[in-house]
Amino acid sequence: MKINVLLIVAFSFVVSVRSLPMKPTLNYESIFNFGDSLSDTGNFLISGDVASPTIGRLPYGETFFNRSTGRCSDGRLIIDFIAEASGLPYIQPYLRSVRTNFSVDFTKGANFAVAGATANDFNFFKERGLSVTLLTNKSLDIQFEWFKKLKPSLCKTKPECELYFKKSLFFVGEIGGNDYNYPLLAFRSFKRAMDLVPFVINKIMNVTSALIEEGAVTLVVPGNLPIGCSAVLLERFSDDKGWLYDSRNQCYTPLNSLAKLHNDKLKKGLEALRQKYPQAKIMYADYYSSAMQFFNSPSKYGFTGSVLKACCGGINGRYNAKPNVICGGKGSTTCKDPSTYANWDGIHLTEAAYRHIATGLISGRFISPSYN
């Protein structure tokens, strides 16, 4: 008798301890995500647009998944931490169902983000004579079309859809960063990248509006990261004009000004959408300020490796980001402890950096207006 009671007590203790971390902090029953490599959980890899890309093998994924999943990081991305905080499984890449006949259940959400994706499509860049080579043509419009295709499998009637989407979270971005990255990395002038800002914002506004008209009620639209602190872009713009670097963090000021311009215009655009669609809750996620915390005070946040150097790639140049050695490619090395680095492979961040940004979102600190 006594033993039984002890067993029951012990058992219930185990249950309560195990269920504690499962209590969700965010109350959403499904998540739909649009974007680029910052949030792609496998679409680019599945798409086959590039045959056996380096993101399809270790060390990608080494920190958390122990294998490559198509995520452009050593582990989880911001969207994975958002899914965890909502008590939901990691969001399935949409192309998993299209490219294989494996039937995927998307009732808890779908991820349409594709690494390398731009907000604008190929013709937009072509018309402007930018002649850039895109890694993928799965732009924001295509991702939106995928959503419309999937929608009838999620809900049928209008009232049914209203009920379903009332409990859904839509993440629109980060997207648009690549619209600047492609021309900048192809050595087009800085001004030409700057001139794209209004067109990038228009496209994001257009698709965000279209999603609301399709039934989205709660939306998070993230801005761009401080790209002036990105290892590949620092390497590309590497120059000896000391005054162009921020003395506080050694990031490249003109590029950060570009990100800030994009973010300011995005915030203004979202304000207009709030007027137009008062029934929708449209939140801005401030990735820029959240990431700036660790670029300004790296050791305070555990980034005791060099915060501007890539963890994975070649040990070369000021940023470990010279284009002759790429992470996962020939001659590449990986730092011992990625959790002490913010930059993973030159262009993408580490799980530790993404965790920092996600925590800032989940706490409500870098999201406005707040969730409730």
Ligand X SMILES: *[C@@H]1O[C@H](CO)[C@@H](O)[C@H](O)[C@H]1NC(C)=O
Looking only at the bridges linking them, the beta strands covering 312-313 and 333-334 are antiparallel
Residue 98 binds ligand X (CB under 6 A): no
Residue 101 binds ligand X (CB under 6 A): yes
Cβ neighbours of residue 249 closer than 8 Å, sequence gap 6 or more = 229, 292, 295, 296, 307, 308
Looking at 26, 29, 49, 316, which residue binds ligand X (CB under 6 A)?
Answer: 49
**Pairwise CA distance, residues 256 & 35, whole Å:** 20
Q: Which is nearer to ligand X, 137 or 359 (CB)?
A: 137
Min. distance of Cβ 103 from ligand X in angstroms?
11
Q: Which is nearer to ligand X, 61 or 177 (CB)?
A: 61
Residue 209 binds ligand X (CB under 6 A): yes
Instruction: Candidates 33-41, 61-69, 153-161, 333-341: pick the segment binding ligand X (CB under 6 A).
Output: 61-69
| CB distance 33 to 83 below 8 Å | no
Residue 66 binds ligand X (CB under 6 A): yes
**Pairwise CA distance, residues 220 & 211, whole Å:** 12
Residue 157 binds ligand X (CB under 6 A): no
Min. distance of Cβ 172 from ligand X in angstroms?
13
* Dihedral of alpha carbons 149, 151, 154, 155, sign: negative
Residue 213 binds ligand X (CB under 6 A): yes
Q: Which two tokens stand for residue 279?
A: 């029934």
Looking at 100, 189, 238, 299, which residue binds ligand X (CB under 6 A)?
Answer: 100
Q: Which of residues 118-137 bind ligand X (CB under 6 A)?
A: 122, 134, 136-137
Q: Is 356 annotated as catalytic?
A: no
323-327 long-range Cβ contacts below 8 angstroms, 24+ apart? 323/232, 323/235, 326/54, 327/54, 327/59, 327/60
Looking at 44, 65, 144, 170, which residue binds ligand X (CB under 6 A)?
Answer: 65
**Pairwise CA distance, residues 145 & 116, whole Å:** 18
Active site residues: 37, 345, 348
